[in-house]
Amino acid sequence: MAIDFGLEGAVAIVTGGGSRASGVGNGRAAAVLLAEAGAHVVVVDSAPQNMAETRSLMAERGTDALLVTADVTSPQECADVVRQAWDTFGRVDILVNNVGVAGPSGTVVDLDLDAWDQCLRLNLTSMMLMSRAAIPRMRAGDGGSIINMSSAVGLVGGHPEVAYPTTKAAVVGLTKTMAAHHGPEGIRVNAIAPGYVYTPMVHSQGIDDGAREQRRHAAPLAIEGTGWDVGDAVLFLAGPRSRWITGVVLPVDAGLTATLGSGGAPSVTSVPGPPKAPGV
């Protein structure tokens, strides 16, 4: 029997709902699953061709979406996305802030400063801007649910680069603060922290089968994560089945963050290092 997530007729905006490579990423999975649960889904991406496969997956499952091309680092374009959702469906209930990039390599000493600024805008400021546009619409309705995509690297140290984990840690702070600010308005704000998920972003950066195996065995469950695993977490946090949950950061990581002492922190394409001595 199908599970009723209480999302029939709800309106969800999913940023980063496409992908530059074929396959199922976190945003694509979230969009498809929300639509299957009965929501009207607005898929947002910076390039229209990135959303074609998302629409095809939806069509295979008997659903569809409103596709909107937008740069979510632009305040005006974020406002336009929300306006289109409102004008088309008459409400905004769910916002999934999924846009993100791996960002520049390097430490604070040697990273490219312009690339640092761009990473911050894409991975963090976009979430603030989309929330800024969506929250007034949620206030005008019955409240809402905002889900921000963080990462296991936002919860741990040891990452080989500085930009990406810094933005993902900042998403945790943004989520908790927004939850406190907007809970009295009936708006819940939570975050998901994926671990070693195999997505089109990972595949397109050239990870080989050996590295995939190392990543899989880095976590206690030893199961490779997919975008569908993250999408299922979005589906739960989006609707009334999680009505008493806000300000939470949910690791979806096969137990990776429960075993922090056994290796390096995850990155988009890196594999865990050798086991560390106790206490290191």
**Closest residue by Cα to residue 168 from 102, 262, 79, 105:** 102
Residue 14 makes CB contacts below 8 A (sequence gap 6+) with: 27, 30, 31, 34, 41, 42, 43, 44, 96, 98
164 is catalytic: yes
Please answer whether residues 84 and 66 qualify as being in contact, where contact means their C-beta atoms are separated by less than 8 angstroms. yes
Residue 271 makes CB contacts below 8 A (sequence gap 6+) with: 211, 214, 215, 218
Catalytic residue, candidates 86, 89, 164, 196: 164
The Cα 94–Cα 85 span in angstroms is 11
Please answer whether residues 166 and 153 qualify as being in contact, where contact means their C-beta atoms are separated by less than 8 angstroms. no
Other Cβ atoms closer than 10 A to 229: 20
Output the CA torsion sign for 24, 166, 69, 186: positive
The Cα 160–Cα 144 span in angstroms is 36
Residue 48 makes CB contacts below 8 A (sequence gap 6+) with: 67, 69
The set of catalytic residues is 164
